[in-house]
Structure 1
Amino acid sequence: MMMNSSEVSYFTLGAYFDTGYLRWLYFVLILSVYVLILLSNLLLIVVICLNRTLHEPMYIFLCSLFINELYGSTALFPLLLLQIPQDVHTITTSLCFLQIFFVHSYATIEFMTLAVISYDRYLAICFPLQYSARMNTNKVLFLTGFSWFYAFAIVLVVVLLTTPLKLCGNILTKVYCNNYSVVKLSCSDTSVNNIYGLISTIITVFGPLSFIVATYIRILKVCFKGSKQTRQKALSTCWPHLASIVNFSSGTFFEVLGSRFDLSNVHSVIRMILSLYFLAVQPLFNPLIYGLKLTKVRVLCKNLLRSVVSHQ
């Protein structure tokens, strides 16, 4: 039966599997991960906001990154925690499209912000004497604001193109809503969705990744020409960023792999882990890797925690 998406009152999330009495163990584990994500990202946001020594472009971009981790994880975990104890896994149509907007915009903001950080590191390492002039306050605010505004605008179009589609079913083979899963249910022409989806993917994924590769090629050239101290300083600030890029790109690849190809032969637990990787691991990975590797941030975090403990 062909139905407009507005006529579908709910979607069934078909990737959940019967966990029996283990469902509450999974619930506690996922809740623990979510709480850890909230605490770690909030800690670093507070540290950066309260300490004037961290009011530098790189740390402002990192603050934007940590805010995005809270944004993305909150698009997933509360609904996931509601679904796990249930026997029937459904989500209302309006909430499904809202989750699509949050999840896709989170991914876009992540790639855009990682590209902006690579540009910041490029200027700091390749043009140290001109860095303050080239990366001034107005430029920082523009790059940060543009990353978020661009993501919201391009993903809003994705959702608006998907909403009017005629659907022949309401079962999504996921544990959360994503745009491609809804488009696959369509009985109507999806050529516009596919073309726009391809173009937006190229712009939001391959565009930033290509830019990041180009900036790091230039950074490496400067490092090889410089002193050992220059190389060590560059590596100490770039290594967490590179690790974050590799981790998020891997998670995105797993998500695309699971959405575009038939993985029915893969165990359901593994399919779920791969599907949730970029939404669950990156928000936990970033604050840990930046908090541990950037000395200034690590020291200020310790001081803040000691201050909180001493006042209790």
Structure 2
Amino acid sequence: MNNLYNTSDVLHLKSYDLSYEGVFPAFLFATLNYMIILFCNLTLILTIVMNKSLHQPMHLFLVNLPINDLIGSSALFPHLIKEILTDSRRIQLPVCIIQAFFIHIYAAGSVFILTAMAYDRYIAICHPLRYSTVMTSAHIMKIITLVWSSCVVLIAVLFILLLRLRRCRSEMTHSYCDNPSLLTLVCEDTTINNIYGLFISAATQVIANSLVFYTYLRILIACFRSRRSDTKAKALQTCATHLFVFLLFESLGLFTIISYRLRNISPHLRRFMGVSTLIFPPTLNPLIYGLKTKEIREKVINFFGNKRVIS
């Protein structure tokens, strides 16, 4: 009853339930992880932006991925580190809404960007003679603009529907802010919000998964039909990397979405999987693409090699 009709702008989050001995290791892990994410993603962005030889369609699509990863990780990690140290379990409502908004932008952006990258590889491998005429600068900018504008519009509508509702609770069901947790604070009918949330989740998943699996199926067929073993190996390696990243994010994201609809799932497991979606992909993406993409790897090695020589 104390939580009912509480309209304070201070929200109470679920604790991470860390023991006294576990605070320092958790703080060290979170801080180092965030520093690695910042360093690797910023290095990848600067490498692509500062080298004109990398201003190719594949790399122009790729540079959006670390930008999106920085949005998601920066929405989570500063607050996560603060909570590990203080265990205050408090957050201001406007800050919570901003955090939730950018976390959802990150989630939608990851799906759309990886889908756009799959489309680029499909044209490059299945229609190599048409690649330069299809993937023009104007066409690339249209796709990138469509990706980001779609994310902003879809998520903005989601939060406009949320903010129209009257709130009467302050006790969150999660350790960080997202739309499902904020909906639990509402004391009005949330049917429209639930329908819209399920609709955009289902629509984006169906469209993205259909496009990705169709393109990679066509790529696999084209690779096995190719008589050049070097071309086949390079194409398969590139596509395997992209597909691994896509499946990793989809697995973590889908589990998080489904877990909110299942009451018998452990809240600790739900929180762990939710945080994992914002930890593992931003950490692994720049390492995978930086190490696997030969052109980027060479530029990064040359840059840091020159720095050592100068020093």
Give the TM-score band, short-chain normalised. Answer: over 0.9
What letter is aligned with 1:233? K
Q: Secondary structure at the match of 1:130?
A: helix
Shift of 1:273: 2.5
> What's the counterpart of residue 260 of structure 2?
259
Change (3 A) 1:287 1:263: farther
Give 1:99-138 correspondences, 5 Å limit: 99-138=99-138
> What's the counterpart of residue 302 of structure 2?
303
Give 1:27-46 correspondences, 5 Å limit: 27-46=27-46
CA deviations over 1:71-101 (Å, ceiling 9, x no partner):
1110110111111111321111101111111
Distance in 2 between residues matched to 1:192 and 1:26, nearest whole Å: 39
Shift of 1:245: 0.3
Moved more, 233-242 or 56-65: 233-242
Give 1:202-213 correspondences, 5 Å limit: 202-213=202-213
**Conserved? CA contact 2:170–2:185, under 8 Å:** yes
Q: State the Cα RMSD in Å.
A: 1.8
Q: Secondary structure at the match of 1:166?
A: coil
Distance in 2 between residues matched to 1:3 and 1:305, nearest whole Å: 57
**Conserved? CA contact 2:11–2:92, under 8 Å:** yes
**Conserved? CA contact 1:14–1:172, under 8 Å:** yes
Q: Secondary structure at the match of 2:63?
A: helix
Moved more, 121-130 or 186-195: 186-195
Q: Secondary structure at the match of 2:156?
A: helix
**Conserved? CA contact 2:49–2:55, under 8 Å:** yes
Distance in 2 between residues matched to 1:236 and 1:14, nearest whole Å: 42
Q: TM-score, normalised by structure 1?
A: 0.93
What letter is aligned with 1:285? L
Shift of 1:213: 0.9
> What's the counterpart of residue 192 of structure 1?
192
Q: Secondary structure at the match of 2:235?
A: helix
**Conserved? CA contact 1:10–1:93, under 8 Å:** yes
**Conserved? CA contact 2:23–2:85, under 8 Å:** yes
Shift of 1:38: 0.5
Unpaired runs of 5+ residues, structure 1, are none
Give 1:18-167 correspondences, 5 Å limit: 18-167=18-167
Q: Secondary structure at the match of 1:91?
A: strand
Shift of 1:206: 2.5
**Conserved? CA contact 1:15–1:173, under 8 Å:** no
What letter is aligned with 1:307? N
Shift of 1:263: 5.2
Count residues with an aligned counterpart: 308
Q: Secondary structure at the match of 1:260?
A: coil
**Conserved? CA contact 2:48–2:55, under 8 Å:** yes
**Conserved? CA contact 2:256–2:270, under 8 Å:** no
Same amino acid, percent of matched pairs:
35
Shift of 1:236: 2.3
Q: Secondary structure at the match of 1:58?
A: helix
CA deviations over 1:144-189 (Å, ceiling 9, x no partner):
1211111011101111111122334221121110101121332211
> What's the counterpart of residue 241 of structure 1?
242
Moved more, 12-21 or 22-31: 12-21
> What's the counterpart of residue 274 of structure 1?
273
Distance in 2 between residues matched to 1:70 and 1:311, nearest whole Å: 30
Shift of 1:47: 1.0
Shift of 1:261: 2.2
Distance in 2 between residues matched to 1:34 and 1:111, nearest whole Å: 22
Moved more, 238-247 or 203-212: 203-212
Shift of 1:272: 3.5
Moved more, 44-53 or 134-143: 44-53
Unpaired runs of 5+ residues, structure 2, are none
**Conserved? CA contact 1:9–1:92, under 8 Å:** yes
Distance in 2 between residues matched to 1:65 and 1:305, nearest whole Å: 22
**Conserved? CA contact 1:15–1:272, under 8 Å:** no
What letter is aligned with 2:48? I
